[in-house]
Structure 1
């Protein structure tokens, strides 16, 4: 179920690239994509035509990876499919987290933490994360004895909303509530600036879905994530 307030979530990549993340966008015609090393996501107009797909192919280059995220439109048949993943989009129902999250031990992660963040992502595989992904928003982490063992951050930024993403915990640090603490801390910060949190999760990640539901997130819609190779 959607309404006027959350309609922008039907095109979170496109609305982010034309708004809060415009400074991180590459454009050609009505096609857009994030700059290299920030994100692989790209977008075309609502109801794209042949020219839009041709513009995206030229923008990305021949044989390039086109991560269309949750775009419902399919490219021309000669674009090679790379992956398809069923998932869901979840939203915060409103109000502040109860109880208010404790941020003891939670630290903001800066550019000097990127090598550690990339290492944690490689170990836990929460989803795409690149050397400049940190530029998308605030990233928080938990350190134990100086080592980064958990993190989460902000990714897509359609008007009025901020996506929570890259939620991951090192295997040796799981079961200690780090992910819940980081997600609620981010949700509180997002709400404090007058926006609403949302996130995406793969249907196969039942543990994460259960966690997000326990924290108060509800499913807005089912989505299919798709990636292609340009001709």
Structure 2
């Protein structure tokens, strides 16, 4: 089996944040078989294995997704035996090293009743995957103008001691007003009030977003890959039967 990670392997919890979340604070959202886990399919698309170099973990993931099933996973650019990489994107992980977290009186807490508006804004701004129950993963805050949702940010992966800030997006007609920064700081205020530390991910080619996050107190921790892999072992067995 050959699995290629972009950075040297270490034991830091953020090296495998989805696994840490699914086996920790987000265990109630998890479907798990042995060394593999995934979020409920209406909560988040993320899958994870305990160790990318452990063949048992990939066997468990195959059982979890079923014959021909797909799984978005991090840190893998070459598929292990029985799997095929469908596509790969590259990202960066940034951690809070000096962010000024502060509540914002103009933000509103978003809930299940706001999901249609959230999905509309996400579809127009494409900050990343957002599903019907993603709002249940943590606190999501929005800013409205004349009743219309124009910007949002919230909490996604939740490894012990850490919370990811995600879905940071602003209606194109309202960009350039600092709304994203205000929302990131407001979400971070809730995270820090719990004694946890914020982190986030961004696409490696999104230089503007990375510069913004670094300018408000985030520091690049590592670069990584996010791949969609497909289970192929069952197909091979059928062909040779």
Report the TM-score, using the length of structure 1 for normalisation.
0.91
Work out whether residues 95 and 199 of structure 2, in 8 Å CA contact, stay in contact via their aligned partners in 1: yes
Contact 2:94 2:221 in 1 (8 A): yes
| C-alpha distance in structure 2 between counterparts of 1:111 and 1:47, whole Å | 35
Q: 1:130: Cα distance to partner? A: 0.6
Tell me if structure 1 keeps the 8 A contact 2:202–2:210.
yes
Q: 2:152 maps to which residue? A: 151
**Aligned residue in 1 for 2:18:** 13
Corresponding residue number in structure 2 for 1:90: 94
- Asked if the contact 1:48–1:73 (Cα under 8 Å) also holds between the matched residues in 2, the reply is no
Deviations 1:193-225 (A, max 9, x none): 100000001111111111101110000111111
Match of 1:105 in 2: 106
1:79 correspondence with 2:83:
yes
Show the 5 A alignment for 1:1-231.
7-68=12-73, 70-72=74-76, 74-93=78-97, 97=100, 101=102, 103-231=104-232
Note if contact 2:94-2:218 (Cα within 8 Å) is conserved in structure 1: yes
Name structure 2 gaps, 5 residues minimum: 1-6, 233-241
Q: CA RMSD in A?
A: 2.0
TM-score (normalised: structure 2): 0.87
Give the drift of 1:60: 1.4
Structure-2 separation of matches of 1:166 and 1:224 = 19
Note the alpha carbon deviations across 1:87-115, whole angstroms, 9 max, x for none.
11100015x61xx6351321110110001
Kept in 2: contact 1:93–1:217 (CA 8 A):
yes
* Gap regions ≥5 residues in structure 1: none
Bigger radius of gyration: 2
Cα deviation for residue 50 of structure 1 reads 2.9
Whether the 8 Å CA contact 2:77–2:227 is kept in 1: the answer is: no
The Cα shift of 1:230 comes to: 2.3
Decide which moves more: 78-87 or 148-157: 78-87
Output the CA distance in 2 between the equivalents of 1:194 and 1:49: 33
Helix, strand or coil at the partner of 1:86: strand
1:48: how far off?
A: 4.0
Write the distance in 2 (CA, Å) between the matches of 1:119 and 1:63.
Answer: 31
Shift of 1:54: 2.1
Distance 2:19 2:179 in 1: 31
